[in-house]
Structure 1
Amino acid sequence: MTDITHVESDVPLDVWDPDVAPMVERMRQSGATSFRTVGVQGVRNNLESIVRPTGPAMASVHDADCEGPGGPIPLRIYRPPTAPGSGAPALVWFHGGGMIMGSLDSFDRLARDVAAATGAVVVNVDYRLAPEHRYPAGHDDAYAALCWVNRHADQIGVDRARIGVGGDSAGGGLAAATALRSRDEHGPNICQQIMFYPGLERPVDRPSMRRFGNSAFLTVDDITWMKNLYLGDDPALDDEYGSPALATDLAGLPPAIVVTGFADPLRDGVEEYGRRLQDAGVPTAILRYPGVGHGFAMQTSTVARARTAMAEVGALAAARFSAGQADSTVSG
């Protein structure tokens, strides 16, 4: 890991979208402290206590379990009204939270938004969290969930040829790692990967990390602390499934949608990964949204630009699923 040479002391309010700036100002006035200071249980409690408006209505929502290497993995399956009762596309979805927090409940709104926007059945995965379960526990659970959806596609009414993976933040990193592993182990076919500002690496000295490393939504210290809790303190031990940016070969991966916010410290590393996918011949859309920072996909109830991003990403994903259906029909 490269040391960050200089991190700006603050992010000016005029950087933020008009819907976001008041939120940032409130956070500053409240004297929000670092994740490290609050501690693991504190950040978990804070995330779970946030009250979000109920997301889009679903045709059905039900809980299930899948077999995992550490025991049953809880799942929550969302079928949007536009999805057929059988043969629907599916997204195996991994929630954010830095690999140390988050649950099916705290990410219920986001799962509903993704299902409504993409028209896909979303299988939200409650993978094990650090520090109780360090790497590779979360990654192993993510891959096990993909394999379960592939095996049980008929039972849950989805098209085995149109299963994608996706996630936000840490979950986006899990999606990238799951795609890498499935390629390497000749596992289930993945139709596409959707990554909202994925956590792909430890902090690296990049312009976005220097300029936005003290953002109200995520700081360099937050990232370092959470990465250490999940991966351990020694970066020399990292591998490409824990830190997908370390992967040297990205050829043969599924088509990708890579999404960033302008004021996210992770922005430049995420976009570099997207360009590397493109260079490896992987069809990849790289979408950057102005005025927003890390976690903006969780802000659809209050931020118009987040709603726009969700609609645009959903349309791209739906088009890829439609192309996958056509390909399946032709090959069949």
Structure 2
Amino acid sequence: MEFTSSINQIISHLEKIQSFNAQNPLDDTRKYLETMSLQLSGKKEAVAMIEELHVPIENHEVPIRIYRPKGKGGQKSSAIIYIHGGWFIAGSFETHDAVVRKIANKTGSAVIFVDYRLAPEHPFPAGLNDCIDTVKWVIENAESLGIDADQIGIIGDSAGGALSASVSTQIGELLKFQVLIYPAADNKLNTKSWETYETGPVLNKEGGIQAWKWYHPEGENTPDPLAVPVLIKNFKNTPSTLVLIAEHDALRDEGQELAEHMKEAGIPVQISFYKDMVHGFMHMGEVLSEVQLAVNEMADFARQHLETVEK
């Protein structure tokens, strides 16, 4: 396989990252993602305001951040729920901060980042339930949040793409659109793209197998389609969907397969193929112009479905 000079530069950088004082492989994975994001995301855009709240759910709370875009007045805002990636075991406010800021400003929507519970401490369906319950809470409290409850979309990347797809099958009638960015849709890791990119770049099969075991321990023998969305049969509530696929990504084929399943179910689906890109490229804005291109494409897609977004 051949990579562009920019991707080779990124791969070389990734090989040099060392997690500071990692206590174990899980801690190493979490710190690696934080370090990668911090070093490669580039300069963070200013937004009008960032609010941190806690969503009360049964016997715990889900932390969220609301990013208010620049230049918006006092009217009710459209909103985008953002569900982050990290193999279901990593990811935080900080790992996706730069990306979420870009999306907020470009779409003109408030972006609500969900800091859902992670495996292995909280395996499936804890994280999914947090995401579903947070969407419901946002809609129920839209008035006080300054959000238009009828103008809400959802975006998920990688593991967050899997979670988003499952959220949409449950409560998609509440959402105007969905964007899945290189979704982690299958726990089998046996596609052609996994064979090609088994050892990277960015992802590796050994880490993926461990992550799925932590997230969905029963998945090897009795997989739940809400954990493994490539197995979903009923997409009845799913809104119009945009799927972003990266060429040099182990998850490429399963993302494509999920998109095709949605199409077969009659869901309006656009598939956008990012040539030369690797998994996680949305975190690499310091080097890759494609990050802004992808943000622009997502914003255009949002404009098609959110009435309150400025045309």
Q: TM-score, normalised by structure 2?
A: 0.91
Aligned CA-pair RMSD: 2.3
Matched residue, 2:294: 309
Q: Is the 8 A contact 1:162 1:325 kept in 2?
A: no
- Cα shift readout 1:116-169 (whole Å, capped 9, x = no counterpart): 232211000110111111111101101111011111111111111111111111
User: Aligned partners of 2:71 and 2:236: how far apart in 1?
Assistant: 33
The correspondence of residues 310-325 of structure 1 with structure 2, limited to 5 A, is 310-322=295-307
The structure-2 alpha-carbon separation of the partners of 1:83 and 1:236, relative to structure 1 and needing over 3 Å to count, comes to farther
Q: 1:240, 1:70 → 2: CA distance?
A: 26
The aligned counterpart of 2:201 is 216
Structure 2 residue aligned with 1:283: 268
Q: Which residue of 1 aligns with 2:6?
A: 19
Structure 1 residue ranges (4+ consecutive) displaced by more than 6 angstroms after TM superposition: 323-326
Q: Deviations over 1:88-120 (max 9, x none)?
A: 211111111111111112221121122123221
1:54 CA drift (Å): 4.1
Equivalent residues in 2 for 1:26-105, closer than 5 Å: 26-28=13-15, 30=16, 39-50=25-36, 51=38, 52-105=41-94
Q: How many Å separate the matches in 2 of 1:157 and 1:293?
A: 37
- Supply the distance in 1 between the matched residues of 2:75 and 2:59 (Cα, whole angstroms): 30
1 CA distance for matches of 2:70 and 2:304? 18
Matches of 1:82 and 1:193 in 2, distance apart? 24
Task: Say which is worse superposed, 127-136 or 316-325, in terms of deviation.
Answer: 316-325
Q: Structure 2 CA distance, aligned partners of 1:293 and 1:38?
A: 26
Name the CA shift for 1:130/1:257 in 2 (closer, same or farther; >3 Å).
Answer: same
What is the aligned partner in structure 1 of residue 162 from structure 2? 173
Structure 2 residue matching 1:303: 3-state secondary structure: coil
Write the distance in 1 (CA, Å) between the matches of 2:14 and 2:74.
Answer: 43
Note the alpha carbon deviations across 1:200-221, whole angstroms, 9 max, x for none.
1113432212112221201122
In structure 1, give the amino acid aligned to 2:127: G
In structure 2, the residue matched to 1:253 is 238
SS of residue matched to 1:253: coil
**Aligned-partner Cα distance in 2 for 1:228–1:191:** 33
**Counterpart of 1:175 in 2: which secondary structure?**
helix
- The equivalent residue for 2:221 is 236
Task: Name the CA distance, whole Å, in 1 between partners of 2:180 and 2:59.
Answer: 26
- Tell me, in whole angstroms, the C-alpha distance in 2 between the residues paired with 1:295 and 1:113: 16
Question: Given the superposition, is the C-alpha separation of residues 224 and 113 from structure 1 closer, same or farther in structure 2, using an over 3 Å criterion?
Answer: same
Task: Give the whole-Å Cα distance in 2 for the aligned partners of 1:32 and 1:113.
Answer: 27
SS where residue 277 of structure 2 aligns? coil
User: 1:48 Cα deviation (Å)?
Assistant: 2.7
Q: CA, structure 1 residues 70+96, in 2 after alignment: closer, same or farther (shift >3 Å)?
A: farther
Query: In the alignment, is residue 269 of structure 1 matched against residue 258 of structure 2?
Result: no
Go from structure 1 to structure 2 and tell me whether the alpha carbon gap of 1:116 and 1:301 turns closer, same or farther (over 3 Å shift). farther
Aligned position for 2:96: 107
d(CA) in 2 for partners of 1:42, 1:205:
25
Please give the residue correspondences for 1:118-197 in structure 2 after superposition, counting only pairs within 5 Å. 118-183=107-172, 189-197=174-182
User: Could you tell me whether the CA contact under 8 Å between 2:171 and 2:237 is conserved in 1?
Assistant: no
Considering fraction of residues, name the structure with more strand.
2
Measure, in 2, the Cα distance between the counterparts of 1:31 and 1:297. Answer: 18
Q: Which moved more, 1:285-294 or 1:272-281?
A: 272-281
Q: What are structure 1's unaligned runs of at least 5 residues? A: 1-11, 327-332
Quote the Cα distance in structure 2 between the aligned partners of 1:119 and 1:155: 19
Find the counterpart in structure 2 of residue 9 from structure 1. none
